[in-house]
Structure 1
């Protein structure tokens, strides 16, 4: 007979790759894990695992069972969360975003959670492709991305704009592209693209490509990029949110540019799935607060 716990055990086994670690994570015995897998194989009538010494792999049936199990539990979670769609201040928020957004949005949501004890937060920092796949799989209700997504199973809507900031060490006195080239560039995921857009807009006659700027380093965590800039190792281009939340903001400075460039962020969700009202409330409140912080007066109506 169908038993959801067997599928849960199987998912954990695939993710850990170990009967021992699965037993530890699920607080079971190792024979109990083996029994669950055996029962699931009997129920499905197919072997799910291939054993290669101590290593285990998945048969074709095992891969399909794993994919099905992920969808099964994602739909279960979506159903459970949908029961309190109308509540603005309670329920779980499952969100994924890049670090450039999460460094400011996550603390804001935690503040909302303190004000509303019925609200819980599950926040995942991830890269663009991970956010898309996780939202599609139902692991997150909302994903935030910096590029518009066109996918038949996703809704995508523009949400918020933030300026891009050209950031240099605090004692850097240069003003030209050649000065920046002598300093070098600190890169991160999408860093080259953002820098290219901002520099092309402000130095249209001189800028050709980012090849002019030697890369002095790379971090896959955008929040750490300004550490390298603060140490005088190079310059970078980041979202204003990254600069304003950085512990190194006093050791760096933003160069004023004549042509501001705004980075647009988008909200993605699964098509056909109603997003609970609490998300709309959270994201709108954040935008209003951010507007006040940037411009210092209330949001006009209309």
Structure 2
């Protein structure tokens, strides 16, 4: 079986978009469509439902994705064994909170790319539940989650750091009139809301940038990682109300799967 078809399958399963898949693989969209159809003919099953919102895996597609990863990892091991190669290369899929994707991962990934240019890292901003589910299903090779504690039976969970959390507002904003917080599923904002003694007026966004902009405009208060507001605190456009309990950063992997050399390399770099 042509491994190019399997790679296209995995990218389309992750992006859910023929256009995005074509861009990532440096193909024209018609080639992606042809490759998916060729794979469906070979396997004798429909792998994707083509919907207005994008391509969605069928049940057969989900099973194909799981085994396709195993085939590609085995192919890479065979290639390395035959060549006697020590080169580390391949795709690594990481799920992490938006703040970690935006502020913590880029420099680590840049360091990896400089030393091992054959590694391609794909980052997806996801919450804890989706991150753990992604590792369990094989959709993600690695996950980083910010929590007080993580319970994930069958998975390996290692604490690798802490993320300081701040309650912030713009100078002169009245006390606790409105909160602008990240969407539910963000561990540190959910914990903050649980600890409030009164029912707050909350507006939620899916973007740290949107939350921070609202607070800087003087519209209310927010709870954000220190790394996301450090520049604004130094400039005085935001002020610290108080520090909140730190969140622990955990690295989650699946010990049932044999990681590729690329996955091991990136995991070591993160840890």
Fold shared, TM-score > 0.5 on shorter chain = yes
1:195 paired to 2:174: no
Who wins on radius of gyration, i.e. which is larger? 1
Go from structure 1 to structure 2 and tell me whether the alpha carbon gap of 1:17 and 1:235 turns closer, same or farther (over 3 Å shift).
same
Tell me how large the CA RMSD over aligned residues is: 4.5
TM-score (norm 2): 0.69
The alpha-carbon deviation at position 107 of structure 1 amounts to 2.7
Which of 193, 200, 208 is equivalent to 2:197? 208
Q: How does 1:175-254 map to 2 (within 5 A)?
A: 179-180=175-176, 182=177, 184-189=178-183, 190=186, 192-196=189-193, 200=195, 207-209=196-198, 211=199, 213-215=200-202, 217-244=203-230, 250-254=236-240
CA distances 1:68-120 after superposition (whole Å, capped 9, x unpaired)? 22112222444438969xx9995455322111222221232144146525364
Structure 2 CA distance, aligned partners of 1:109 and 1:150?
26
Structure 2 CA distance, aligned partners of 1:76 and 1:262?
41
The answer to whether the 8 Å contact 1:226/1:246 transfers is no
The alpha-carbon deviation at position 222 of structure 1 amounts to 2.1
Go from structure 1 to structure 2 and tell me whether the alpha carbon gap of 1:68 and 1:221 turns closer, same or farther (over 3 Å shift).
same
The answer to whether the 8 Å contact 2:95/2:126 transfers is no
Go from structure 1 to structure 2 and tell me whether the alpha carbon gap of 1:234 and 1:137 turns closer, same or farther (over 3 Å shift).
same
Structure 2 CA distance, aligned partners of 1:220 and 1:152?
28
Structure 2 CA distance, aligned partners of 1:277 and 1:241?
27
SS of equivalent residue, structure 1 residue 68: helix
Go from structure 1 to structure 2 and tell me whether the alpha carbon gap of 1:139 and 1:38 turns closer, same or farther (over 3 Å shift).
closer
SS of equivalent residue, structure 1 residue 236: strand
SS of equivalent residue, structure 2 residue 140: coil
SS of equivalent residue, structure 1 residue 271: coil
- Partner residue of 2:253? 269
Flag structure 2 segments of 5+ consecutive residues without an equivalent. Answer: none
1:66 paired to 2:61: yes
SS of equivalent residue, structure 2 residue 58: helix
Structure 2 CA distance, aligned partners of 1:108 and 1:70?
30
Structure 1 CA distance, aligned partners of 2:27 and 2:239?
49
Structure 1 CA distance, aligned partners of 2:38 and 2:268?
46
- Partner residue of 1:141? 141
Go from structure 1 to structure 2 and tell me whether the alpha carbon gap of 1:196 and 1:70 turns closer, same or farther (over 3 Å shift).
same
Structure 1 CA distance, aligned partners of 2:98 and 2:29?
36
The answer to whether the 8 Å contact 2:112/2:269 transfers is no
- Partner residue of 1:101? 100
The answer to whether the 8 Å contact 1:9/1:33 transfers is no
SS of equivalent residue, structure 1 residue 225: helix
The alpha-carbon deviation at position 150 of structure 1 amounts to 3.5
TM-score (norm 1): 0.63
SS of equivalent residue, structure 1 residue 107: helix
CA distances 1:221-246 after superposition (whole Å, capped 9, x unpaired)? 12431111110011011122222266
The alpha-carbon deviation at position 272 of structure 1 amounts to 2.4
